[in-house]
């Protein structure tokens, strides 16, 4: 199973970055800028994905 790079945002300084998700390191994740551990994973935006109503039937 490949490790995907996921977007994160620091709640302390607002810094956004991407980083491979490693479940073993999930607890010690911290912002690379300010070292805060108030980091949240963002949902990846896929702008090219068609809307359900535009899919052919």
Identity of the residue, 36 or 48, whose beta carbon is nearer to Zn ion in the bound complex: 36
Q: Which is nearer to Zn ion, 16 or 22 (CB)?
A: 16
Beta carbon of residue 8, minimum distance to Zn ion (angstroms, whole number): 10
| Nearest to 10, CA basis, from 19, 22, 2, 1 | 19
CB of 24 to Zn ion, least distance (A): 22
Q: What's the DSSP call for residue 41?
A: E
Which positions lie near Zn ion, rule CB under 5 A? Answer: 10, 12-13, 15, 31, 33-34, 36
Q: Do 38 and 11 form a contact (C-beta atoms < 8 A)? A: yes
């Amino acid at each position: 199973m490949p490790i995907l790079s996921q977007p994160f945002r620091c709640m302390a300084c607002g810094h956004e970055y991407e980083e491979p998700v490693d479940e073993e390191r999930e607890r010690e994740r911290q912002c690379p800028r300010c070292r805060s551990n108030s980091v949240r994973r963002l949902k990846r935006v896929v702008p090219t994905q068609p809307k359900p109503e535009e899919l052919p039937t």
